[in-house]
Homo-oligomer: A and B are copies of this chain.
Amino acid sequence: MTAVLPPDLRVLNLGIPTFLPGLAAAGSPATRTDWSPPARGDARVGWAAARLTADAGVDAANAAAFGRIISSHPVLTGTALARTLVPALKDRRLLHAGPPLEWDRASGPVRGALVGAVLLEGWARDASAAEAALAAGDVPFEPCHHHGAVGPMAGVISPSMPLWIVEDPATGRRAFSNYNEGLGKVLRFGAHSADVLERLEWMRAVLFPVLQAALESLGGLELRPLMGRALQMGDELHNRNAAATGLLTRTLGPALARAGGDVVRVFEFLGANDHFFLNLSMAACKLACDAARGVQGSTVCTAMARNGTDFGVQLSGLDGVWFTAPAPVVEGLFFAGYGAKDAAPDLGDSAITETAGLGGMSLAAAPAIVRFVGGTSAAALETTRRMASVCVGEHPEFSIPGLDFRGVPVGIDARRVVDLNRAPVINTGIAHRLAGVGQIGAGITAAPLACFEQAVAAVAERRWGAGL
């Protein structure tokens, strides 16, 4: 089918590209625009997004939430055992990643990590006894996010685990995360064999007192300048933390050397784990996002978290409410012998880094990650430009060299996500779907649009009632 078209016809093609080949065949150039109906065609939610977009009150609320995120100044002030920091962990209880979850619906890696934590605490004599206790509700488990904490992947925190304390001196607000175990067969990917538990025990008995003494002698370490420098060095502070780990080692070096204890082994651990800084990045991002909670009317996202079953999103204006959808599959590269069929769905509180503008949102800072999944550095730049289009603004100090030092995109605005059908991009690790196996790959995924659609509808309903 070739039509005769006026010679000076210029076509702008919105959305579906079906018309493009015909136009090209007829000799008429068309410019394509990446448009699709808002809210994936759901008229009610699309209208909610449009009405919220036209509302200057929401703009003001979002500007306030954005301002609180970028004004956060995380300082690593110390480290302590979880039971001394999180009141709920004085009892026999565990924390896990993502929104709330029951045992029956829990993913393999979360089950595996919960079992491992029960064994670590000595609450059961073997794995099947631990499973039985968890299934019977004898060991309750709750989201890290409900207790000021974040944990990567399964994100399981138990009372005797040491946590990082990250604090904003201006507000006194605090956020916690556990220590990073390294890659491979580790608790956070659902493994709980003897070597996994031995490493966790070593972290509590040896690493913890050395870090505690070092941080005491250092008297607090400002994370914001360190993170800013790492972003100039190829880290996006979610799936790449090599530069930040190097900067942390150089900064802590003298204090570690002064600390006493098995410092040699501590330096070996830091030297061998490129992800050691990840959990500090997460705690710093949790601190920043928590500061933005509870701004009335704001559609800025304050948490994205997954538990391998559900993906949950929270908005500033509806503090504490989870909007959930099934956790997506991660597109990635797998370790030899594994493939997509072995993978657990998306998992972990680590998407708090994206919520604060890092990770996949700042893919342009870390082109090495795109290459890992077969992409180009141009695609990495484009991803961050696209993410900027759904955010309130740019961070004044966290900047990206490859984008001529534009700030990282901060303040994911659910209105724009829904209006453009443009889901936040997330970099992440991939766990085996079965308990006890561990990590099998890493890759890139996106938050489910459904979470943002529900959230936008709920904000609109809160604002204008059911009559929307």
Q: Shortest beta-carbon distance, A277 to chain B, in Å?
A: 11
Of A67-75, A196-204, A261-269, A303-311, the one touching chain B:
A261-269
A147 lies within 8 A of chain B by Cβ: no
In Å, the complex CA distance between A263 and B255 comes to 10
> Which residues of A206-260 have CB atoms within 8 Å of chain B's CB atoms?
229, 232-235, 242-243, 245-247, 249-251, 253-254, 256-258
User: Does A253 lie within 8 Å of B267, measured CB to CB?
Assistant: yes
Stretch at the interface among A48-56, A118-126, A153-161, A399-407: A399-407
Interchain residue pairs A-B with the least CB separation, the first 5 = A246-B246, A253-B267, A367-B401, A254-B267, A250-B271
Cβ of A367: which chain B residues have Cβ within 8 Å of it? 401-402, 404
Contact: A401 with B253, CB < 8 Å?
no
Does A33 count as interface, using CB distance less than 8 angstroms? Answer: no
Query: A229 contacts which chain B residues (CB < 8 A)?
Result: 242
Could you say which residues of chain B place their CB within 8 Å of the CB of A265? Answer: 254
Check A376 for interface membership: any CB of B closer than 8 A: yes
Write the nearest CB–CB distance from A264 to chain B, whole angstroms.
5
Q: Which residues of B contact A377 (CB under 8 A)?
A: 401-405
Instruction: Give 1 or 0 for each of A373-401: 1 = CB within 8 Å of chain B CB.
Output: 00011100000000000000000000001
Q: Which residues of B contact A249 (CB under 8 A)?
A: 246, 249-250, 253
Query: What is the number of residues of chain A that contact chain B, defined by CB distance less than 8 Å?
Result: 37
Which of B233, B235, B254, B264 is in CB contact (< 8 Å) with A254? Answer: B264
Question: A251 to B264, Cβ gap below 8 A?
Answer: no
A371 at the interface (CB under 8 A from B): yes
CB neighbours (8 Å) of A401 from chain B are 234, 367-368, 371, 377
Q: Which of A257-303 contact B (CB under 8 A)?
A: 257-258, 263-268, 270-271
* A267 and B271 within 8 A (CB): no
Cα–Cα, bound, A371→B368 (Å): 21
Docked Cα-Cα span, A371 to B234, in Å, equals 16
Copies in the complex: 2
Contact partner of A258 (CB less than 8 A), chosen from B264, B368, B371, is B264
| A-B contact list, 5 entries, CB within 8 Å | A233-B243, A234-B234, A234-B401, A371-B404, A371-B405
Please, which residue of chain B has its CB at the minimum distance from the CB of A375? Answer: B404
Q: Which residues of A contact B (CB under 8 A)?
A: 229, 232-235, 242-243, 245-247, 249-251, 253-254, 256-258, 263-268, 270-271, 367-368, 371, 376-378, 401-405
Measured between beta carbons, the chain B residues less than 8 angstroms from A404 are 367, 371, 376-378
Q: Nearest chain-B residue to A248 (Cβ)?
A: B246
A267 and B248 alpha carbons, distance in the complex (Å): 12
Contact of A402 among B251, B266, B402 (CB under 8 A): B402
Cα distance, A253 to B378, chains bound together (Å): 36
Interchain CA distance A376-B404 in the complex, whole Å: 6
Partner of A270, one of B243, B253, B264: B253
Q: How far is the CA of A403 from the CA of B404 in the complex (A)?
A: 15
Shortest distance between the CB of A382 and any CB in chain B (Å): 13
Q: Is the CB of B245 within 8 A of A268?
A: no
* Shortest distance between the CB of A276 and any CB in chain B (Å): 9
Q: How far is the CB of A227 from chain B (nearest CB, A)?
A: 14
Which chain B residue lies CB-closest to A242? B233
A271 touches B251 (CB 8 A): yes
Chain B residues contacting A270 (CB-CB under 8 Å) are 250, 253
Residue in B234, B254, B268, B405 whose beta carbon sits within 8 Å of that of A268 in the complex? B254
- A378: chain B residues within 8 A (beta carbon): 404
Bound together, the chains give a CA A267 to CA B250 distance in angstroms of 7
For A376, the closest partner residue in chain B by CB is: B404
A232 to B232, CA, bound (A): 11
Which B residue's beta carbon lies closest to that of A253? Answer: B267
Chain B residues contacting A263 (CB-CB under 8 Å) are: 257
A250 touches B257 (CB 8 A): no
With both beta carbons as reference points, the residue of chain B lying nearest to A230 in the complex is identified as B233
B residues in contact with A232, CB < 8 Å: 234, 368
16 more A-B residue pairs beyond the given contacts A233-B243, A242-B247, with a C-beta to C-beta distance below 8 A? A232-B368, A245-B246, A246-B247, A249-B250, A249-B253, A250-B267, A250-B271, A254-B268, A254-B271, A256-B257, A257-B267, A258-B264, A377-B401, A377-B402, A377-B403, A377-B404
- For A242, list chain B residues within 8 Å (CB): 229, 233, 247
